[in-house]
């Protein structure tokens, strides 16, 4: 019996299933297709160094506590980012968060009580599942297909639920999802908004990857679809969507700068929740981010990242088509960092993982992305961190692992 009496959410904590793979990563010669880390070679170190020097010229501001909502200069820049993506918003509609991860945590504190039902597109980003478990939410898995969240299946689910079981929240990554790499169609975005208004749930639109598009065909955010829908209805009504985004995948995760755009009532409560969480996002990091975005280098850096990630994605998917053939199924992503792979039920997933580790290649087993560890015959592959040569080697090694596990 421990001296410490932990809360139910932390009585038997499970760490992140992805971080548990870290010990394998230090093995000599290991090629990792596991993490969702951006490629360090794509960090604009020169531009960020200039921005950091600039940040230090702002007198003591960057070294002092700042407003919980975020610095005015950064909120201005982030609102401009949102406008470029199709969202109508002003700086006052933006709450700067310490990564988009914090934005989700704040929302859970403000909107979800233990026992509340939350729909999660599944397979899902593991930290979302973990945060929901910690909040005591009841997770309702909602299926996805090659076009993202399956809103027709969601509608059937919602129709069948008794009123008291209806979700408070639905979580989705509509752009180049983690882990599936899929892009939600425009029709589905509009239908999702309609369902949210009809059934009274908040849509959490998590969008860290939307800028990493390999083509220029990218629908506006679900948040913007809701604005358009509300306008077409002639009223100003409250937007049921909360938009979360981040500079982690496009500039650098070390900045820990993300943001939220939401209805003023939601934003105000999240701001109060953040006051007791970290007071404010590092003003120094915010000053660097604002100065970087003002410098005009962002667009060029993102374009370079898209071109490189596209090359890496093609090396991975072409290699898998050639070496793994019909042993595996996947949808070629049109952006982002991930490919979701499903494989033959006749292959033992643990044997496959062990054979892969022995061959010095690692991936995230699919069960990490399910609240109930359900689907074992799948995996997430990230093409972001290894270069093309390493990806080609990784595919050779995966092919060996499949051959051994069969
Ligand atoms: C879907 C998704 N949401 C949120 C995050 C966390 O992003 P941030 O670094 O902005 O907290 C990640 C990071 O991998 C992610 O994949």
CA angle 400, 405, 406 (to 5 degrees): 100
Banded model confidence at residue 2, pLDDT cuts 50, 70, 90: confident
Ligand 1: centre distance to CA 389 (Å): 27
Ligand 1 pocket residues where CB is under 6 Å: 36, 99-101, 125, 173, 178, 206, 208, 246, 248, 253, 258
Q: Which of 100, 103, 124 to mutate to test the pocket of ligand 1 (most atoms within 8 A of CB)?
A: 100
> Model confidence over 140-186: pLDDT tens digits?
999 999 999 999 999 999 999 999 999 999 999 999 999 999 999 99
pLDDT at 234 over 90: no
| In the chain, domain spans | 8-44+300-405, 57-296
> Model confidence over 180-190: pLDDT tens digits?
999 999 999 99
Return the ligand 1 atom nearest residue 101 CA: 11
Taking the C-alpha atoms of residue 290 and residue 77, their distance in angstroms, rounded to an integer, is 7
Banded model confidence at residue 375, pLDDT cuts 50, 70, 90: low
Ligand 1: centre distance to CA 63 (Å): 26
Banded model confidence at residue 22, pLDDT cuts 50, 70, 90: confident
Question: Rounded mean pLDDT of 78-93?
Answer: 97
Ligand 1: centre distance to CA 160 (Å): 32
What CATH number does the domain located at 8-44+300-405 have? 3.90.1150.10
Question: What is residue 372's predicted lDDT score, i.e. its pLDDT?
Answer: 82
Taking the C-alpha atoms of residue 52 and residue 215, their distance in angstroms, rounded to an integer, is 32
What CATH number does the domain located at 57-296 have? 3.40.640.10
Question: What is residue 373's predicted lDDT score, i.e. its pLDDT?
Answer: 67
pLDDT at 242 over 70: yes
């Amino acid at each position: 019996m421990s001296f410490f009496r932990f809360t139910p959410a932390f009585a038997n904590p499970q760490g992140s299933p992805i971080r548990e793979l870290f010990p394998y990563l230090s093995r000599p010669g290991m090629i990792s297709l596991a993490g969702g880390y951006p490629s360090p070679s794509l960090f604009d170190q020169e531009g960020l160094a200039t921005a950091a020097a600039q940040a230090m010229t702002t007198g003591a501001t960057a070294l002092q506590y700042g407003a919980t909502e975020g610095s005015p200069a950064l909120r201005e820049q982030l609102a401009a980012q949102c406008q470029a993506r199709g969202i109508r918003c002003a700086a006052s509609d933006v709450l700067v968060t310490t990564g988009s991860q914090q934005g989700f945590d704040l929302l859970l504190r403000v909107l979800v009580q233990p026992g509340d039902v939350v729909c999660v597109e599944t397979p899902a980003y593991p930290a979302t599942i973990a945060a929901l478990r910690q909040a005591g939410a009841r997770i309702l898995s909602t299926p996805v297909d090659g076009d993202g969240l399956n809103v027709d299946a969601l509608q059937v689910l919602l129709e069948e639920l008794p009123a008291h079981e209806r979700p408070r929240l639905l979580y989705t990554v509509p752009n180049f999802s983690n882990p599936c790499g899929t892009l939600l169609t425009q029709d589905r975005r509009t239908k999702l908004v309609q369902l949210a208004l009809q059934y009274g749930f908040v849509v959490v639109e998590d969008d860290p990857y939307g800028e990493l598009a390999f083509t220029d065909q990218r629908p506006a955010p679900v948040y913007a679809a809701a604005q358009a829908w509300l306008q077409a209805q002639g009223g100003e009504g409250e937007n049921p969507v909360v938009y979360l985004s981040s500079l982690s995948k496009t500039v650098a995760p070390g900045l820990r700068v993300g943001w939220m755009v939401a209805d003023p009532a939601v934003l105000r409560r999240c701001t109060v929740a953040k006051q007791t969480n970290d007071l404010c996002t590092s003003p120094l990091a915010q000053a660097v981010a604002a100065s970087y975005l003002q410098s005009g280098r962002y667009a060029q850096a993102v374009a370079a990242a898209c071109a490189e990630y596209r090359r890496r994605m093609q090396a991975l998917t072409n290699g898998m088509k050639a070496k793994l053939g019909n042993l595996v199924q996947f949808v070629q992503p049109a952006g982002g960092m991930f490919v979701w792979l499903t494989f033959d039920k006749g292959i033992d997933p643990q044997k496959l993982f062990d054979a892969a580790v022995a061959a010095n290649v690692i991936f995230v087993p699919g069960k990490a992305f399910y609240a109930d560890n359900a689907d074992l015959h799948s995996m997430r592959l990230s093409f972001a961190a290894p270069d093309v040569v390493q990806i080609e080697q990784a595919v050779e090694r995966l092919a060996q692992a499949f051959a051994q596990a069969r």
